[in-house]
Amino acid sequence: MAMAEGERTVSQKTDYPRPQQKNDGMGVWFFVEHKDNKVDEDCLKLAAEGRNLADKLGGETTAVIIGNQVECLAEHLGPYGTDRALVVEGPHLEAYTSEGYVDVLAQLVGSESPSIILLGATTVGNDLAPRLAARLKAPLVAHYIEIEVDKERKLTARRAIHGGNAQATVVPLKKPLIATIDTQLLSGQKAKVPRNTHIVGARVRIDPKTSATKVIDYLRADPCAVCVSEAEIVIGVGKGLGCVENLDAVEELARVLGASIGGSRRATDEHWITDERRIGLTGKTISPRLYLICGISGAFHHTLSIKDAKLKVVVNKDAHAPIARMADLLVVGDMQEIIPELTKQLREMHKPTA
């Protein structure tokens, strides 16, 4: 069972209002992902979403931070309106393991009764959320779009189904509601009233020997195999690809660039690329450093999910295609000619000089 060990306040220069303790089943918790002692930026968006929901519920927001020497991370959450940080630390918690982290979270939840537990729809969040739901026998809404709170503070969640062609409304019958969200759907606005985040060092019983998993090392993924929503460079193909055989040249370019291949709905409908590589309303939202957009016309179903791409390079044979309007660089021509040429020139550039 979790026990409050001590409560401290993150020192901040401004004297923000001290939050009231409101753990009466109206609280919103969110799970903080972090790396190299830095809060994952998307988690700040989750913090803002937690604040927004807690305001509707009339409760407080609590960040759950698990790891080794991670208490300092709480100071980044105050501007996003986080009232409290439950911190669980230990050397055996340094690396994420499903069993270890579920154990910790389940014990923390057991000692209080939050209304909602939010997790990012990330690799860790997608792994942790269903396990936690199973452990607590609690309702889970994966990849929600919106959670509404009615006048009686009852929750209703909406999530996309049938590849985004319809939405399901889910009414959780129990608390807590465990919910994951693609943080790219969130704006991450700072709170109108920032908080002094109170740190609560929580102690839980963990037997490191019960974990069947031991993290030995992390290996860098093959960029071409990475999910488009996480890739730094994405090549998008559309109807202009013409046929699946033409994908070979795109794959060669992807290898040279270290890019992940995605595309339009026309490309997935033709089965040139798999459904999980679709970009757009019914697919993934992307925010790469470079998005190379080949043979895609620029329907809003596609473009609404590429707004955060830093540099958009368009290859299209039609200079007046709608996609041209959002291009940082427009190359007018046949992608079947341009792509192999680009691959060739990039290879030349990277040829080791004797």
Binding region for ligand FAD (CB under 6 A)? 165, 238-240, 264-267, 278-283, 295-297, 299, 301-302, 315-318, 321, 334-336
Q: What phi, psi does 278 have (nearest 5°)?
A: -75, 135
Q: Beta strand pairing status for 140-141 and 198-203?
A: unpaired
Q: For ligand FAD, which is the closer residue by CB, 84 or 277?
A: 277
- Closest approach, Cβ 274 to ligand FAD, in A, equals 14
Q: For ligand FAD, which is the closer residue by CB, 155 or 315?
A: 315
- Closest approach, Cβ 349 to ligand FAD, in A, equals 23
In the sheet where 198-203 sits, what is the strand order?
3-9, 198-203, 84-89, 61-67, 28-31, 116-120, 177-181, 140-141
Q: For ligand FAD, which is the closer residue by CB, 59 or 240?
A: 240
Q: For ligand FAD, which is the closer residue by CB, 311 or 319?
A: 319
Cβ neighbours around 225 below 10 Å, total: 9
- Closest approach, Cβ 237 to ligand FAD, in A, equals 8
Question: Judging by beta carbons within 10 Å of its beta carbon (0-12, 13-18, 19+), is residue 316 exposed, middle or buried?
Answer: buried
Q: For ligand FAD, which is the closer residue by CB, 116 or 253?
A: 253
Q: For ligand FAD, which is the closer residue by CB, 70 or 279?
A: 279
- Closest approach, Cβ 341 to ligand FAD, in A, equals 13
Backbone torsion region of residue 283, taken as left when φ is above 0, otherwise alpha when ψ lies between -120 and 50, otherwise beta: beta
- Closest approach, Cβ 255 to ligand FAD, in A, equals 21
Query: From CA 103, how far away is CA 57, in angstroms rounded?
Result: 27
Closest listed residue to residue 293, CA positions, set 253, 254, 345, 238: 238
Query: From CA 177, how far away is CA 235, in angstroms rounded?
Result: 37
Query: From CA 342, how far away is CA 344, in angstroms rounded?
Result: 5
- Closest approach, Cβ 181 to ligand FAD, in A, equals 18
